[in-house]
Amino acid sequence: MKYFILLLKLAVFTILVLIRLGEWDISHLYQWSKYRNALEFYISALASIAIFLLLLDFIQMAVTGWYRSRHRISRDDNFIIGVGQIYQILLVAGIAVGLLSLFRIDVRQLFTSLSIIFAGIAILTKDYITNMINGMIITFSGQLGIGDNVRIGTHRGKILDITLQNIHLLNDDDDVIYIPNALLLTIEVVNYTKREIKRSSIEFEIDLKHLKSVEEMEVMLIDTISPFSEMIQPDSYYLRVAEVKKDLVSMKFQYILKEPNKELDRLIRRKAIRRLVEIISEREKVADQIPDLPDMPGHSVI
């Protein structure tokens, strides 16, 4: 079916080129019409639009086909997505110019006479244009790709798609988050997939009164995820103190999976976080049961 559609497109393209160049005379179809000159113009204009659209389609197919055969890939990567984005831009531009030509409007004169209006439109749509340009940069830079596990600002998840306007991110709660491309140039972006070591990290904060020692907390977390020990590299467990605040300690519990597995990592993170909640809850109850020491007459509690 795919090859049949391709042959049909080639046949239509050839016929339109012959009509446009005058090699195929179809004047007998409208020679008795009183609108002969108008019909000639519209047929020529429509043929030119169709030729452009088909030619653009052939170029996209040829470029993507050559790239797939050279790199032996079947799925879409950044280059193919970028080619698709360029195709969409040229397609919209070509259709716009074609519609103007149908109304016999000179595009150059239109842009010259309405330059102030177009400047205003450009100012109003600058965010849209900025997102488009950034989307092209992101796509062809190769820094981010579909399937990468990333953190963009406060959002972390897997990239589902990169469009001209935004990035589609699937987080751990299976929510799809749409992040504007322009935002990626102003915030921190971490690509966990690009790291040579696939280290997983669980970040949390704990009150100082609930923390006896870092070593004890590390042992408790290691024991919690011990059922998954066969899938985790030995001696890769590490509880790191990221920041010490007035009443809180920011910590990161890290480990390395033998094979990257998003679902397994999600199960491990869920089990560890639930255990952390249990630990804090238990120690909160113990703290509530300890009565406060009363002030003795003539003495002060320091």
The whole-number pLDDT of residue 116 equals 67
Quick one: tokens of 185? 């140039």
The whole-number pLDDT of residue 302 equals 35
The whole-number pLDDT of residue 114 equals 62
The whole-number pLDDT of residue 94 equals 84
- Which range has the worst mean pLDDT, 193-202, 212-221, 226-235? 193-202
Question: Could you tell me which residues are beta bridge partners of residue 205?
Answer: 250
Per the rule left: phi > 0, alpha: psi between -120 and 50, beta: everything else, 72 is left
Q: How many CB atoms lie within 10 A of CB 180?
A: 15
- Which range has the worst mean pLDDT, 99-113, 164-178, 270-284? 99-113
Write the pLDDT tens digit of every residue in 92-129: 888 888 887 777 777 676 666 666 666 666 677 777 77
When pLDDT is cut at 50, 70 and 90, the band that residue 178 belongs to is: very high
pTM of the model: 0.52
225 burial (CB, 10 Å; 0-12 / 13-18 / 19+) is buried
Question: Is 296 strand, coil or helix?
Answer: coil
Q: What is the mean pLDDT of the chain?
A: 78
Write the pLDDT tens digit of every residue in 13-46: 777 777 666 655 555 555 545 445 666 777 777 8
Write the pLDDT tens digit of every residue in 282-300: 877 776 665 554 554 544 3
Is the torsion defined by CA of 172, 174, 179, 181 positive or negative? positive
Give per-residue burial for 107-128: e unless 16+ CB within 10 Å, then b.
eeeeeeeeeeeeeeeeeeeeee
The whole-number pLDDT of residue 19 equals 66
Strands (E) located in the chain: 149-152, 155-162, 166-171, 176-180, 189-191, 199-207, 238-244, 248-256
Quick one: tokens of 175? 């929510």
The whole-number pLDDT of residue 69 equals 84
Mean pLDDT of 35-59: 77
What's the CA dihedral at 177, 182, 185, 191 to 10 degrees? 30
Q: Which among 240, 202, 237 has a CA at the least distance from the CA of 219?
A: 237
The whole-number pLDDT of residue 195 equals 62
Write the pLDDT tens digit of every residue in 246-271: 788 888 888 888 877 778 888 888 88
